[in-house]
Structure 1
Amino acid sequence: MDDHGLHCHVNRARQNDPCDDLNSISGHRAYGETHRCFIEGDATVIAIDDRTTIGEAFQLAAAAYGPRPFLAAPVGPHRAYHQQGYEIDFATAAREVQQLCEAYKSRGFGHGHRIAMLLDNRPEHLLHKLALNTLGISCVPVNPDYRASEIAYLLENSEADLAIVSNERREQLDAGMAISAHKAPIVPFDDLSSLPVPAKPARTDPVTSETEASVLYTSGTTGRPKGCMLSHGYELASGAWYATRGHLAAFRPEGERLYNPLPLYHVNSSILSFHCVMLTGSCQIQPDRFNPTRWWSEVTQTRATIIHYLGVIVPLLLNMPPSAEERDHSVRFGIGAGAEPQLHALFEKRFNLPLIEIWGMTEMVRVLLDHEAPRQVGTRAFGRPAAGVEVRVIDEHDNDVARGSPGEMVIRYNAETPRRHFFSGYLKDEKATVDAWRGSWFHTGDTVRQDDDGMLHFVDRKKNIIRRSGENIAAAEIEAVLQSHDLVKQVAVLAVPDELREEEVFACVVLSDPQTADGAAETLFQHCNRELAYFKSPGWLLFVDSLPTTGTQKIQKHHIFPNGQDPRSSAGVHDLRERKKRDPARKG
């Protein structure tokens, strides 16, 4: 790439000690070369290549962007930490990371070790991550919603060499460690003076771009979570990709302030946005979690210019009473996935900002995005294939489907190097890795359709397709219609067996007001029947008090009816199957 604009010439020669002054930009290559910042679109981005490590990239960023804000947290009296807010610049962060590097290294921690981290959404999580990655240590974030048995599984599967924890989470981590077959020392993250010597020595070979930087556990739809191994190269490539998409998603040379309420055990905040802000001299604002009552006050208080969202955030914010802050903000755009088509334009009009729908996953988070004008608002469009993200849409036999027809999306980098910048594999599950990569294409499990112009539209997770009387029905489509009704707070649609029609539509609904339950089943059925072809309306409907979710508010459908329970036998279920009649006056 050509170099333009801001220059930060750096002579890079590999050093023996990765802890060497992080305020300098002496790097870790065995060869000398000059690196510069360069302009890509509107953004100023630190130049990296396929050999760059996270430690090297951070050194370059700290030298180029020193006094710029790097990490922040809003004021939070409700939190156990940083109640008055928090902000740290690149230069100060580099000094703190260097101190952490020296503390870990002095006890023998280094390349090849894994460290579990239970720190909630503290910005210090990211400082520790930078220090650990600089040393070649892999970070294993722990979901703070995990119960003891889930923590025990994560520790066993990752074989963590150490666990660091915040004070208020110590008892929780101790409980998981107590029943884990794999034992590891636990130390407070803010006092490393008690660090033990690791049970196994660190590796002596150099840290490279192929070195494991993180193991992130996917929620999955069945069975135990799978640990996705992510390399330094993967993580940096995801951030650089995001930083250089341009158009409506352009990062400006002066940097942005990116508000990301998603948890740091999730690829969105800890990898995608974090490495993007590092490479562009921007600031990541890390609240403790999403809260609709605090959202706009935190966004305005922190002067956010970009927000990250999930689909569940959209209706929750729309349901809030109007406030002055909701339009008195500096947000240029939002980046996220899952905005219900019926609510997308309504959100943009009310809050005066574009929501750019994207697609990505832990296994590959160089996101596709619908960011070029004119966007296809309200259609579930999420972008077109691009150089570095080739896409096919296939049937169950891995054959391409016709344009406009639904099929599973499979992806790769290119034919020569299909796995470049993808995850390194599922930890201790080579069979699952091989199966996901059959035919040298990664099988995403997402059902999409592709227009003649290449635009991709999300249909549903492959496993959320309901097969009824020969019709393929997307659960997400029914969920979107139900969610648009004022009676509905939350909804999940499942497939249940049907003795006559193979499968039937089963809707689980959390009402906005439980007092409205009388007559609600009929009202919602009629609502669906008006909006959808008759066969898509719920055949079964059950009102529930709540739905199980992950920390990112994704509904865990496989936990709604555990232990093989037949949803149709639930107390209070409404059997609406006889109401599903084809109306000869309607087409579809």
Structure 2
Amino acid sequence: MLVENRPDYFLHLLALNAVGASVVPINPDHRHAELRYQMQHSGVVLAVALARHVERLTAVAAELSGQFIVLAVGNLPERLPSRARPAATGPLDLNTEAGIFYTSGTTGRPKGCLTTNDYWLSAGEWFLTLARSGGRFSIEPGQDRLFNPMPVFHVHAGVVALMPMLLSQGCVIRPEYFSAKRWWNEVSSSRATIVHYIGAVPQALVALERSPDERAHGVRFGFGAGMEPAIHREFEERFGIPHLEVWGMTEVGRWTANDQDPRPIGVRAIGRAVGPLEARVVDEHNGVVTAGAEGELVVRLAGDHPRKGFFAGYLDDEAATEAGWSGGWWHSGDIVRQDKDGIIYFVDRRKNMIRRSGENIAATEVETVLCRHPAVDRIAILAVPDEKAGEEIFACVVPVADRTGDDRLAHDIADYCREQLAFYKAPGWILFLDQMPVTATQKINKAQIFAPGLDPRTLTGAIDLRGTKKRS
């Protein structure tokens, strides 16, 4: 499915689900190599795409020896061509595969998260569970309109925003893309009652000049992950919308929420786990840490089926799936702490991941591409704060002996990255170094490249490439 944020996406999604087909939503910003990997790895047999994407998908299909066929939305044949392989047998039920969502893995290639019908329905029912828990989450069947401007190839927009409205006879409002300048007009004119976003959206809205339009809405609450604590109170007071910070991940399908009054504001509080979801904070040996101590967030469903409603596993990677379920709990890779009242506070990610404008980017994936650049001897990809995107990619590069690390080489490296990866994965900053610290096994020790607390963006020689990161 390469249909972007169009009504056609939902039409095809529901039609394909009705006949037992599993959908693979594709990011339109993917470059050829990324498309080829995702199409081959998922084993798709049919691609439904907007007309402007047909040519490049057809090129991928040719390289894969006709593994799949490509059809354009709005120009579908009266009869589909013969399928490339026999269809799966058996009844269509809760355990039937419904979709594969790709999430950036920490070891390079994105992993395919297998999701069943039960996963999709559980995500929708979870919203209703929160609405009954006595907090700020609420839902009015047949009345609510949920506005989400994020791309449907991500779970938070393609599942979390869709399913509760489907189950409660509500309405999903889906603009083509997020625009801060159009936000309040779109929210008001569509008569949205709930808004769902990522942390970069509130930051962009707070940065706008004040306008009467920002109060001319009927929104009861907004929710999302990653709002900067420094703007939380300003956001609520300025726009009159309580922001409910949540935590979730594709593998889990449910989320914690900071929606119980009195809500901690100005800190990265992600609330409590509401039953039947259970959460605890553990050390490296899976032992529960004391209140206030930092550890890894792990979750499961209470009862005899702790994986119910979670993803069904990583496609063709049972080892990674079982590693994630170590000790019978799903390991998030996120470092948190929990106070004596049970409220969980997000601290950092253990995974080698950068979250830019809602996109999870594996540092290893970018490093794997850029280490092949002929002028790069060694490279380390780090996350740095960014006022608009939340986080940005910072590349530390040791050039080969006969190349000078200058502005021209920095742009050449960024261009090389954009030729093979989506534009947002390219470095937003590059700093050339003579050397980088290494471990005893000669791996780059990222923790020791810069002194603790130092912002590498402020260093002499740091080259700002953010202006070159534009969707082509």
Partners of 2:206 and 2:110 in 1: how far apart? Answer: 33
Measure how far apart 1:183 and its partner are. Answer: 1.9
Measure how far apart 1:217 and its partner are. Answer: 0.4
The structure-2 alpha-carbon separation of the partners of 1:263 and 1:489, relative to structure 1 and needing over 3 Å to count, comes to closer
Measure how far apart 1:163 and its partner are. Answer: 0.8
Partner in structure 2 of residue 503 of structure 1: 447
Partners of 2:197 and 2:333 in 1: how far apart? Answer: 22
Partner in structure 2 of residue 402 of structure 1: 290
AA at the equivalent of 1:546: R
Among residues 189, 201, 219, which one is paired with 2:86 in the alignment?
Answer: 201
Partner in structure 1 of residue 324 of structure 2: 436
- Per-residue CA deviations over 1:477-534 (Å, capped at 9, x if unaligned) read x83xx74xxxx7765387985579982475xxxxxxxxxxxxxxxxxxxxxxxxxxx9
The structure-2 alpha-carbon separation of the partners of 1:184 and 1:495, relative to structure 1 and needing over 3 Å to count, comes to closer
Among residues 220, 234, 241, which one is paired with 1:353 in the alignment?
Answer: 241
Partners of 1:549 and 1:222 in 2: how far apart? Answer: 24
**Per the alignment, in what secondary structure is the counterpart of residue 260 of structure 2?**
coil
- Per-residue CA deviations over 1:90-142 (Å, capped at 9, x if unaligned) read xxxxxxxxxxxxxxxxxxxxxxxxxxx10011122112111111111101111
Partners of 2:392 and 2:329 in 1: how far apart? Answer: 30
Partners of 1:248 and 1:490 in 2: how far apart? Answer: 25
Partners of 1:241 and 1:545 in 2: how far apart? Answer: 41
Partner in structure 1 of residue 343 of structure 2: 455
AA at the equivalent of 2:466: S
Alignment of 1:567-586 (within 5 A): none
Alignment of 1:86-235 (within 5 A): 117-180=1-64, 183-193=67-77, 195-235=80-120
- Per-residue CA deviations over 1:424-471 (Å, capped at 9, x if unaligned) read 000011111111111111111111111111111111111369xxxxxx
Partners of 1:369 and 1:549 in 2: how far apart? Answer: 33
Partner in structure 2 of residue 492 of structure 1: 392
Matched, 1:546 2:454: no
Partner in structure 1 of residue 405 of structure 2: none
| Identity within the alignment, % | 41
Which ranges of structure 1 fall in alignment gaps of 5 or more residues? 1-116, 466-474, 507-533, 552-588
Partner in structure 2 of residue 302 of structure 1: 190
Instruction: Note if contact 1:495-1:503 (Cα within 8 Å) is conserved in structure 2.
Output: no
Partners of 1:292 and 1:402 in 2: how far apart? Answer: 42
**Per the alignment, in what secondary structure is the counterpart of residue 266 of structure 2?**
coil
Measure how far apart 1:177 and its partner are. Answer: 2.5
Instruction: Note if contact 1:140-1:214 (Cα within 8 Å) is conserved in structure 2.
Output: yes
Measure how far apart 1:323 and its partner are. Answer: 1.7
- Per-residue CA deviations over 1:240-280 (Å, capped at 9, x if unaligned) read 11123123110013421111111111101111111100011
Partners of 1:161 and 1:415 in 2: how far apart? Answer: 38
Partner in structure 2 of residue 576 of structure 1: none
Which ranges of structure 2 fall in alignment gaps of 5 or more residues? 354-381, 397-435, 440-444
The structure-2 alpha-carbon separation of the partners of 1:204 and 1:428, relative to structure 1 and needing over 3 Å to count, comes to closer
Figure out how many residues of one structure are paired with residues of the other and give that number: 393
Matched, 1:315 2:200: no
Partner in structure 2 of residue 371 of structure 1: 259
Partner in structure 1 of residue 169 of structure 2: 281
**Per the alignment, in what secondary structure is the counterpart of residue 281 of structure 1?**
coil
Measure how far apart 1:540 and its partner are. Answer: 6.4
The structure-2 alpha-carbon separation of the partners of 1:181 and 1:381, relative to structure 1 and needing over 3 Å to count, comes to farther
Instruction: Note if contact 1:148-1:179 (Cα within 8 Å) is conserved in structure 2.
Output: no
- Per-residue CA deviations over 1:56-77 (Å, capped at 9, x if unaligned) read xxxxxxxxxxxxxxxxxxxxxx
Instruction: Note if contact 1:260-1:309 (Cα within 8 Å) is conserved in structure 2.
Output: yes
TM-score by length of 1: 0.63
Partner in structure 2 of residue 525 of structure 1: none
Partners of 1:383 and 1:422 in 2: how far apart? Answer: 20
Alignment of 1:17-36 (within 5 A): none
Matched, 1:272 2:172: no
Partners of 2:467 and 2:298 in 1: how far apart? Answer: 30
The structure-2 alpha-carbon separation of the partners of 1:399 and 1:244, relative to structure 1 and needing over 3 Å to count, comes to closer
Among residues 454, 461, 466, which one is paired with 1:537 in the alignment?
Answer: 454
Larger Rg: 1
The structure-2 alpha-carbon separation of the partners of 1:311 and 1:181, relative to structure 1 and needing over 3 Å to count, comes to farther
Partners of 2:274 and 2:113 in 1: how far apart? Answer: 24
The structure-2 alpha-carbon separation of the partners of 1:348 and 1:227, relative to structure 1 and needing over 3 Å to count, comes to same
AA at the equivalent of 1:353: I
AA at the equivalent of 2:67: K
Instruction: Note if contact 1:219-1:550 (Cα within 8 Å) is conserved in structure 2.
Output: no
The structure-2 alpha-carbon separation of the partners of 1:127 and 1:306, relative to structure 1 and needing over 3 Å to count, comes to same
Partner in structure 2 of residue 75 of structure 1: none
Partners of 2:467 and 2:306 in 1: how far apart? Answer: 38
* Greater relative CO (CA pairs within 8 A, separation 6+): 2
Partners of 1:182 and 1:459 in 2: how far apart? Answer: 47
**Per the alignment, in what secondary structure is the counterpart of residue 322 of structure 2?**
helix
Partners of 2:307 and 2:390 in 1: how far apart? Answer: 37
AA at the equivalent of 2:297: M
Partners of 1:389 and 1:397 in 2: how far apart? Answer: 22
**Per the alignment, in what secondary structure is the counterpart of residue 411 of structure 1?**
strand
AA at the equivalent of 2:96: T
Instruction: Note if contact 1:505-1:538 (Cα within 8 Å) is conserved in structure 2.
Output: no
Partner in structure 2 of residue 517 of structure 1: none
Partners of 2:216 and 2:137 in 1: how far apart? Answer: 21
The structure-2 alpha-carbon separation of the partners of 1:464 and 1:153, relative to structure 1 and needing over 3 Å to count, comes to closer
Partners of 2:304 and 2:98 in 1: how far apart? Answer: 25
**Per the alignment, in what secondary structure is the counterpart of residue 86 of structure 2?**
coil
Moved more, 392-401 or 121-130: 392-401
TM-score by length of 2: 0.77
**Per the alignment, in what secondary structure is the counterpart of residue 321 of structure 2?**
helix
AA at the equivalent of 2:447: E
The structure-2 alpha-carbon separation of the partners of 1:266 and 1:451, relative to structure 1 and needing over 3 Å to count, comes to same
**Per the alignment, in what secondary structure is the counterpart of residue 290 of structure 1?**
coil
Measure how far apart 1:176 and its partner are. Answer: 2.8
Instruction: Note if contact 1:450-1:457 (Cα within 8 Å) is conserved in structure 2.
Output: yes
Partner in structure 2 of residue 26 of structure 1: none
Among residues 341, 348, 359, which one is paired with 2:229 in the alignment?
Answer: 341
AA at the equivalent of 1:248: R
The structure-2 alpha-carbon separation of the partners of 1:550 and 1:367, relative to structure 1 and needing over 3 Å to count, comes to farther
The structure-2 alpha-carbon separation of the partners of 1:188 and 1:491, relative to structure 1 and needing over 3 Å to count, comes to closer
Measure how far apart 1:329 and its partner are. Answer: 0.8
**Per the alignment, in what secondary structure is the counterpart of residue 227 of structure 1?**
strand
AA at the equivalent of 2:104: S
Partners of 1:359 and 1:490 in 2: how far apart? Answer: 16
Instruction: Note if contact 2:200-2:389 (Cα within 8 Å) is conserved in structure 1.
Output: no
